[in-house]
Amino acid sequence: MFQLMIFTPLILTISSVVLVLSLALSKKSKMNREKSSPFECGFDANSNQRLPFSLRFFLVTIIFLIFDVEIVILFPAIQSIFTSQEFYWNFIFISFLIILLGGLFHEWKQGSLNWAI
Amino acid sequence: MIQVILFLVVVVCVLVGVAFFTLFERKLLGYIQLRKGPNKVGLGGVLQPFSDAIKLFSKEHVSPSTSNYSAFLIAPCFSLGLSLLMWLSIPSFFNLLSFNKSVLFFLCGLGVGVYGLLAAGWSSNSKYSLIGCLRGVAQTVSYEVSLVLILFTPLVVTVGYELGSFSSFQENLWFIFIFPAAGLIWFISCLAETNRTPFDFAEGESELVSGYNTEYSSGGFALIMLAEYTSILFMSFLFSVIFLGGDCSFFVLVSFGVMAFIFVWVRGTLPRFRYDKLMYLAWKFFLPFSISYLVLMAGLLSMLFLGFKEC
């Protein structure tokens, strides 16, 4: 763990040094208002770029959040094979997974997985 | 200290490998499309990646006037650093960093990798970037679930979170022969997770100009490319560790190369998917399949173990 605490800042430093080097080495030119405006096909972007986005992306992230929490709950199960009886471990693991599958099918039936509304 | 040096060696080797992987990809795509790839620089194009790097790093850095500049600069560094950091979790012959929770480590790395994408797209403050990053984030996030749940199936067999222990379980039979469907779905999820071609909606160049890296140039773009290819190489190495043997021998390098070849081959062969079909594939096919496969495998294995105990 201590090594990771060394390596993580080290690698972030390396990548930022690469970026700083490229900023220092790159060709310099005068900034132009047109050139540094956000990319558009031939006209000035005058409206706000951060448009309200489709709600589907947000809902997918919410569903992901649920399943990610389930995965986090599942993780200790693997380590606890050693310390538990096989029958009970198996019973609990499989019934948890079946509840998860039932939840997925319920969401499917309710239509929250449909992309086009 | 020796470990820091070994780590730096690994980082440099990965970066050089990424450079030559881009050359490999361009050559291979060239021959797939019945033309020669880059063949002028050096001996038959061998020095092409270095000339590309010199070109990219000496180009002008354009900073968009409306961008959130600090996030705009930090995002490429963050994603490159993260995908290099994930290489720590591979089992190494030199025992680089032997920790027994390496599966958890790279899963955390995959999960945090979304933020680099999100920051790069959001901070450049362009419509194309924002749409590209939204698509990429939704896709990466939904394939991560099936990726992890598929990974549980080998993990139940090996009992533990150590990537190094996968090799001792596959001395006689590889996991790809025991769980062929799991290996296939893991590979497809890897393609979606690294935003590779049949699923490259984060940079759909026919609709969004270049997706989330539209506003990037020179160094930032180079770092984003390096991060993407590093994670592609990491994913193919991970596949060969988890499913194709994975002992520290010459053969793991061969299977690693074959997996990297398949990544490029898929890019040369398949057209882009449709976005709603991509989401249906993740949520309505891969996720139910991976959960029920895990139920099947857990039941089967514990039945076998219970049977062994009674004998």
Q: Tell me the C-alpha distance between B63 and A35, whole Å.
A: 9
Of A36, A79, A105, the CB nearest to B64: A36
Q: Percentage of residues in chain B with pLDDT exceeding 70?
A: 95
Instruction: Output DSSP code: residue A83.
Output: T
Q: In whole angstroms, how far apart are CA B299 and each of A90, B161, B273, B305? A: 7, 20, 35, 10
**Per the CB < 8 Å rule, is B11 touching A14?**
yes
Q: What digits encode the pLDDT tens for the residues B115-166? A: 988 888 888 888 888 888 888 888 888 888 888 888 888 888 887 788 877 8
Counting one residue from A and one from B, how many pairs have CB atoms under 8 Å apart? Answer: 188
pLDDT in tens, B194-217: 888 788 877 777 777 777 888 888
Contacts of A64 in chain B (CB under 8 A): 141-142, 144-145
Are the C-beta atoms of residues A56 and B278 closer than 8 Å to each other?
no
CB-CB contact of B149 with B291 (8 Å)? yes
B294 touches chain A (CB under 8 A): yes
Partner-chain residue, chosen from B62, B66, B298, that has the shortest CB–CB distance to A35: B62
Q: Is the Cβ pair B161, A78 closer than 8 Å?
A: yes
CB contact under 8 A, B288 and A104: yes
Contact A74 B152 (CB under 8 A): yes
Percent with pLDDT over 70 in chain A: 87
Distances in Å between the Cα of B109 and the Cα atoms of A8, B171, B273 are 11, 28, 26
Q: Does A33 contact chain B (CB < 8 Å)?
A: yes
**What are the tens digits of pLDDT across the range B168-180?**
788 778 888 888 8
CB atoms near residue B57 (< 10 Å) = 19
Q: Is B177 on the interface with A (CB under 8 A)?
A: no
Residues 6+ apart with CB under 8 A from B177: none
CA distance A116 to B80: 34
What pLDDT sits at residue B11? 86
Q: Which of A4, A54, A94 sits opposite B298 (nearest CB)?
A: A94
Handedness of CA A6, A9, A14, A20 (dihedral sign): negative
Chain B residues lying within 8 Å of A90, measured CB to CB? 298-299, 302
Q: Where are the domains of chain A?
A: 56-117
pLDDT at B311: 45
Q: Does B104 touch chain A (CB under 8 A)?
A: yes
What tokens were used for B162? Answer: 């150590």
DSSP secondary-structure letter at A42? S
- Confirm or reject contact between B3 and chain A (CB < 8 A): yes
Query: Scanning the structure block, which residue is given the tokens 């939904």?
Result: B142
- Within 8 A of A81 by CB-CB distance, chain B residues are 156, 159
Q: Nearest residue of B to residue A65 by CA position?
A: B141
Task: State whether the Cα torsion A57-A59-A62-A63 is positive or negative.
Answer: negative
Q: Is the ipTM of this complex over 0.85?
A: no
Higher-confidence residue: B307 or B59?
B59
Helix (H, G, I), strand (E, B) or coil at B60: coil
Q: Which of A27-36, B211-220, B255-264 has the lowest mean pLDDT?
A: A27-36
Query: B81 in contact with A at a CB cutoff of 8 Å?
Result: yes
pLDDT interval class at B307 (50, 70, 90): low
How far is B211 from B133, CA to CA, in rounded Å? 7
Confidence label for B18 from pLDDT (cuts 50, 70 and 90): very high
Average predicted confidence (pLDDT) for chain A: 80
Instruction: Calculate the average pLDDT of chain B.
Output: 84
Q: How confident is the model at residue B96 (pLDDT cuts 50, 70, 90)?
A: low
Distance CA B209, CA A41 (A): 10
The answer, yes or no, to whether residue B310 has pLDDT greater than 70, is no
User: What residue has token string 């299977």?
Assistant: B255
Q: Domain extents for chain B? A: 67-310
- Among left, alpha and beta (phi > 0; psi -120 to 50; other), residue A91 is alpha
Quote the percentage of chain B above a pLDDT of 90. 7
State whether A6 and B4 contact (CB < 8 Å): yes
